[in-house]
Amino acid sequence: MKDLNKIRSIKRLWVSVLLVSFLAVGCSNDDDGCYTPNSGIIEVFNDYYPDASNVQWYYVNGYVVADFDYFGEAMEAWFSSDARWLYTRTEMDFSDMPHTVKVNFIASYGDYEIDDSEEIKTSKYGVLYHIEAENDNERICLLYDSQGILLRVYADVLPYSWWETF
């Protein structure tokens, strides 16, 4: 009986060790939503989005990112490591974009199919509009200002570094 209890205790210990190891590994990757930013970033985030829900934090290429819901909208806010709000991305229908953005996109890229479109509110450049589109042989991302002026064309997806190189 003592041997059976000893075996059970060892099994429980191993199961506990494996569970703790699994949880630790599951949250060690900064891209899986387990990241916890410093209190300064959380404070700035709460100032901008006091009613945010379902917040998940990430650390991406030197930036701190919050994925969250805000009054029914799925959003993504980016912060510098020193707690400055940089920009917030919100998905939107192409049909809801400013008229000049739509007209200029259609005039230059009318043969492309739109995959994704979003509004980007920035601390540095005002409001921008981002469109991901593709045709038979090319996938591109376009960045427009609020007047519909095309600012940048990127291959495939908007890079994390667009903020620094804009």
User: For residue 121, what are the β-bridge partners?
Assistant: 88, 127
The predicted-structure confidence for 98-150, as pLDDT tens digits, reads as follows: 999 999 999 999 999 999 999 999 998 899 999 999 998 888 999 999 999 99
- Residue scoring higher pLDDT (89 or 31): 89
CB proximity list for 115: less than 8 A, separation 6 or greater:
132, 133, 134, 139
Q: Does residue 146 sit in the same domain as residue 104? A: yes
Check residue 137 and give its pLDDT: 82
54 with 8, same domain?
Answer: no
Does residue 9 surpass a pLDDT of 70? no
CA dihedral 35, 141, 161, 87 (to 10 degrees): -60
Q: In this structure, are 72 and 123 located in the same domain?
A: no
The answer to whether residues 108 and 160 belong to one domain is yes
The partner residues of 91 in beta bridges, in order of sequence, read: 118
Mean pLDDT of all residues belonging to the chain: 81
Q: Among 86, 106, 128, where does a domain finish?
A: 86
The more confidently predicted of residues 137 and 46 is: 46
Which whole number is the average pLDDT over 45-54? 96
Q: In which element (H, E) is residue 106 found?
A: helix 99-109
More confident residue, 30 or 95: 95
Q: pLDDT band at residue 166, thresholds of 50, 70 and 90? A: low
Query: What pLDDT score does 29 carry?
Result: 44
Distance of CA 143 to the CA centre of its chain: 17
Indicate whether 68 and 12 sit together in one domain: no
CA 15 centroid distance within chain: 35
Which amino acid, one-letter code, is at 4? L
Q: Are residues 45 and 14 in the same domain?
A: no
* Tally of domains within the chain: 3
Domain identity same for 45 and 82: yes
Q: Which CATH number belongs to the domain containing residue 45 in this structure?
A: 3.10.450.360
Range of the domain at 14: 1-28
Categorize the per-residue pLDDT at 4 as very low, low, confident or very high, splitting at 50, 70 and 90: very low
Beta-carbon count within 10 A of 143 CB? 19
Check: CB of residue 115 under 8 Å from CB of residue 132: yes
